Amino acid sequence: MIKFLLNLFSPYAHPFEKKVDKFFRQIKSNSDQYKIQKELETLMQKDLVILDLWMEKKYKSYKYMKKSVRRKMYEDVKVLNKEFDQYAESHKVNVAALQEQIESHGLDFPENKKNKLTYIAAIMSYLRPGTHYRYEKAANFGKLLKNPREEKLIGDCNQIVTLYSYMYSRKYPISDLNIKLLPGHVCLHFEGIDIEATNGTFQHYKEHDGVLPITELITTNLLDVVDAEEKVETIDPRTMVKRAQFAYAISSKKDLVKRNLDIAYRNVGITLVKRKEFKSAIYFFEKLGDRDLIKTAYHNATIHYLNAKNYKSASYYARRTGEPELENAVTRGQGVNFYNKKNYKTALTYFQKINDDRMIKACYQGQYSQLAAKIKNVKTIDDARKYRSTYNAMLDLAHKMGNEQAANYVRGISGKM
């Protein structure tokens, strides 16, 4: 019963999702690349479908990808595996024809890997566009995970290469495979042979010789665009950064992925500024090393907290803007705040910092009025003598604010004491 309840409220549709999620959560941009790649390769070998689907749920937030939907997908994959196994058994690959096809591209036929290449050819035959598969640009991985008895599998180059790799890994080590990145495209690569999964053909892309380990497939999927046909949840900006950090940690193409990581830092920082989460925004801008964005965040934070009358925070950020006028505005705001509370002495200290003569005189006037209120009921000279110090303070304030009329009034009373 307890196990049933735990499964009921668990976010995971399959136990392996939990293991994959734990792996994702431990990764940082400075994680040991070799260790991460080896662990990722192990997870890909175990179940690339679950790994990639959970990754799409975690980092792309498709609304449709609910627990029940994912569970159904995993069941459909079992059907797909069974259907393919039956197909491969009944449609034997002609090895001689396969060799001729490979050599027609000027490629060597890997005789010692003949069984593995034959198995790849069977996958190609089954997933060649037409009966079971249809290409669709920027499709999400879930569109491939369908019951082939009921509907066609739909996917783009990233997703169909992922499915090829998964099907291959059911029988052989996934590390046998590589990928090759072309402009806006990815293909599978095996023993010097390019495999165009989108149309089920062998190719030889001579102008592109950069062969990458199969783990780079995860990087390309992470950085691939979101399927425009699917609704997505609002993605937390920190999740966007985590996605880019993960891609950076596992990829050998640091320059390319670093640009994506920097873009993620920039985007998350801008999003956080809009949310008024300035401290976090500045953290990401500092990771990016963009002084202009950091300064803009300090500026916006100062304005926000000044308008909110949070002068402590406004002052903190203003000091870091390097904008004297903005610092003065915060100081003036602090002074006005105390002035409105009739705390003229404290207000005066702020106005004196910025040499605001008008408000300095206003503070003197305020203090003068407060003292005048104390003596409003004085009727006789004897009563006035009891407030000698008050009259002296009023005279001093009258001089400071340059009010000779007030000064003469006070002197007149003081002279009679």
DSSP string, 11-41: S-SSHHHHHHHHHHHT--TTS-HHHHHHHHH
- Final residue belonging to a domain, choices 206, 232, 258: 232
CA pair distance 216, 250, nearest whole angstrom: 7
The helix (H) or strand (E) run that includes residue 201 is strand 201-203
Identify the CA nearest to 353 among candidates 368, 326, 335, 337.
335
Domain count for the chain, please give it. 2
Q: How many CB atoms lie within 10 A of CB 133?
A: 22
> Per residue of the chain (417 residues), what is the pLDDT tens digit?
445 444 556 899 999 999 999 998 888 767 888 898 899 999 999 999 999 999 888 887 777 889 999 999 999 999 999 999 999 999 999 999 999 999 999 999 999 999 999 999 999 999 999 888 988 887 788 888 899 999 999 988 989 999 999 999 999 999 999 999 888 789 999 999 999 999 999 999 988 777 889 998 988 887 765 544 555 556 676 777 777 778 778 787 777 677 777 887 888 889 889 999 999 899 889 988 999 999 999 999 999 999 999 999 999 999 999 999 999 999 999 999 999 999 999 999 999 999 999 999 999 999 988 988 888 887 777 777 777 888 788 888 888 988 888 767 768 776 666
Q: Please enumerate in sequence order all residues whose Cβ is within 8 A of that of 378, keeping only pairs 6 or more positions apart, or say none.
A: 384, 387
If DSSP codes are grouped into helix, strand and coil, which group holds residue 159?
helix
Q: Contact at 8 Å (CB) between 161 and 43? A: no
Answer whether residue 106 is part of any domain. yes
Can you list the alpha helix ranges (DSSP code H) found in 319-387? 324-340, 344-353, 357-374, 381-385
Residue 6: its pLDDT value, please? 46
Residue 5: its pLDDT value, please? 44
- Final residue belonging to a domain, choices 184, 202, 232: 232
Range(s) of the domain holding residue 195: 11-20+46-232
Does the model's pTM come out above 0.85? no
Answer whether residue 184 is part of any domain. yes
Answer whether residue 406 is part of any domain. yes
Answer whether residue 123 is part of any domain. yes
Tell me the CA distances in angstroms from 309 to 195, 250, 335, 337, one per residue in order. 63, 46, 11, 8
Q: What is the DSSP letter of 100?
A: H
- Does 224 lie in the same domain as 75? yes
Residue 84: its pLDDT value, please? 96
Tell me the backbone φ, ψ of residue 212, rounded to 5 degrees: -120, 155
- Does 365 lie in the same domain as 224? no
- Final residue belonging to a domain, choices 174, 201, 232: 232
Identify the CA nearest to 252 among candidates 38, 78, 35, 33.
33
Answer whether residue 129 is part of any domain. yes
Residue 131: its pLDDT value, please? 86
Residues listed for the chain:
417
Residue 267: its pLDDT value, please? 84
Answer whether residue 86 is part of any domain. yes
Give bridge partners of residue 180 from the DSSP assignment.
187, 211
Q: Please enumerate in sequence order all residues whose Cβ is within 8 A of that of 66, keeping only pairs 6 or more positions apart, or say none.
A: none
If DSSP codes are grouped into helix, strand and coil, which group holds residue 190?
strand
Answer whether residue 192 is part of any domain. yes
The helix (H) or strand (E) run that includes residue 281 is helix 278-288
Answer whether residue 273 is part of any domain. no
